[in-house]
């Protein structure tokens, strides 16, 4: 051992799960939940790079954007590169997060892409008629109750929602074009259609830079002595004692079961649409 020598360090931030709040008490990946982890990662001594391990089917475009912007701001402030690694999926908002990387890697079987916007829900207008339930809703503002699940959909409401989605989609497209630039090789209509691909196919389209896993790529880049420091959110003593859990936020176990059930259904839908 040579005293005074310092092995290169790479901070690893795990971005796993659905992005945004999932219910009244559950939270997925959010800027609030990750801010401390990201700040700490970029302050490590002997830091050579930050690696983000992405495993997400997507979620909130706002939280995707906020997390992405904070990562890029820290990388530029500290002059530290970010390497992104897709695991099972870097799809939709998950790919948005991966684009924070100066380089993106994936397994040949990872699901990558889905550059689009989706909204899914349920409608119950026939159910309340069947059971003789009277819907009572009062608003100030003619558009305050659009897309009420207990009312039939109206063409004007769908048109308004589609316009909002188109605007978000365009923001997503601009971000991918800015981050990937000339590396994109496929047809724009195909790439930005909302379709998703395997890692091998994504490489051919220029959505990623290579096939490889985090440990192997980082050891090849920085040497076998590289130290991988996995960043973990800190919990207070009280939260640990009371059995609080975190997925980007904190909540007591066993509370809000109904909200958790709906959140679990929504989360399962996001993964299922990718075949995972």
Report residue 13: phi and psi, to 5°.
-110, 120
The angle that helices 61-78 and 31-41 make with each other, rounded to 10 degrees, is: 20
Q: What is the pLDDT of residue 257?
A: 46
Tokens of 39: 């700040």
Q: What does the pLDDT profile of the chain (276 residues) look like in tens digits?
A: 444 458 999 999 999 999 997 665 566 899 999 999 999 999 999 999 999 999 999 999 999 999 999 999 999 999 999 999 999 999 999 999 999 999 999 999 999 998 976 655 555 556 666 666 666 666 565 655 565 665 666 677 667 767 887 888 999 999 999 999 999 998 889 999 989 999 999 999 999 999 999 999 999 999 999 999 999 876 544 444 555 444 444 344 444 544 455 556 566 656 666 665
**β-pair type (9-16, 47-56):** parallel
For residue range 94-139, list pLDDT tens digits in order.
999 999 999 999 999 999 998 976 655 555 556 666 666 666 666 5
Measured CA to CA, the distance from residue 10 to residue 216 in angstroms comes to: 13
H-helix or E-strand containing 37? Answer: helix 31-41
H-helix or E-strand containing 272? Answer: helix 257-272
- DSSP state at residue 185: -
Measured CA to CA, the distance from residue 3 to residue 41 in angstroms comes to: 25
Q: What is the pLDDT of residue 21?
A: 79
Q: Which domains, ranges and CATH numbers included, belong to the chain?
A: 9-114+182-272 (3.90.226.10)
Q: What is the pLDDT of residue 4?
A: 46
Q: What is the pLDDT of residue 213?
A: 97
**β-pair type (250-252, 244-246):** antiparallel
Measured CA to CA, the distance from residue 191 to residue 265 in angstroms comes to: 28
- pTM, two decimals, is 0.78
User: E strands within the chain?
Assistant: 9-16, 47-56, 82-91, 103-106, 111-113, 196-198, 210-211, 227-230, 244-246, 250-252
Measured CA to CA, the distance from residue 65 to residue 70 in angstroms comes to: 9
Q: What is the pLDDT of residue 254?
A: 43
Q: What's the angle, vertex CA 228, arms to CA 74 and CA 232, rounded to 5?
A: 65
Residues 6+ apart with CB under 8 A from 47: 9, 10, 11, 78, 80
Residues 6+ apart with CB under 8 A from 111: 86, 88, 89, 90, 91, 196, 197, 198, 274, 275, 276
Q: What is the pLDDT of residue 144?
A: 58
Q: What is the pLDDT of residue 187?
A: 87
Nearest to 209 by CA among 41, 92, 82: 82
Nearest to 164 by CA among 91, 266, 61: 61
């Amino acid at each position: 051992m040579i005293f005074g020598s310092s092995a290169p360090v790479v901070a690893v931030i795990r971005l796993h799960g659905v992005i945004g709040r999932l219910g009244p008490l559950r939270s997925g990946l959010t800027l609030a939940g990750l801010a401390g982890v990201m700040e700490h990662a970029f302050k490590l001594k002997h830091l050579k790079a930050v690696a983000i391990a992405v495993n997400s089917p997507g979620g909130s475009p706002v939280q995707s954007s906020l997390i992405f912007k904070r990562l890029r701001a820290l990388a530029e402030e500290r002059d530290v590169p970010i390497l992104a690694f897709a695991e099972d999926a870097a799809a939709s908002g998950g790919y948005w997060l991966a684009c924070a990387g100066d380089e993106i890697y994936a397994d040949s079987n990872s699901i990558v892409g889905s550059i689009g916007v989706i909204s899914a829900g349920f409608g119950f207008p026939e159910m309340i008629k069947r059971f003789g339930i009277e819907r009572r809703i009062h608003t100030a503002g003619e558009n305050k109750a659009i897309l009420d699940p207990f009312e039939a959909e109206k063409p004007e409401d769908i048109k308004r929602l589609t316009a909002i989605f188109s605007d978000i989609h365009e923001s997503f497209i601009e971000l991918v074009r800015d981050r990937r630039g000339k590396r994109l090789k496929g047809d724009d209509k195909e790439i930005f259609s909302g379709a998703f691909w395997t890692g091998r196919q994504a490489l051919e389209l220029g959505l990623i830079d290579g096939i490889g896993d985090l440990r192997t790529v980082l050891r090849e880049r920085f040497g076998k002595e590289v130290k991988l420091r996995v960043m973990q959110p800190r919990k207070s003593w009280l939260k640990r004692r009371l059995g609080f859990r975190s997925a980007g936020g904190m909540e007591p176990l066993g509370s809000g079961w109904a909200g958790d059930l709906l959140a679990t259904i929504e989360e399962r839908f996001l993964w299922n649409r990718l075949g995972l």
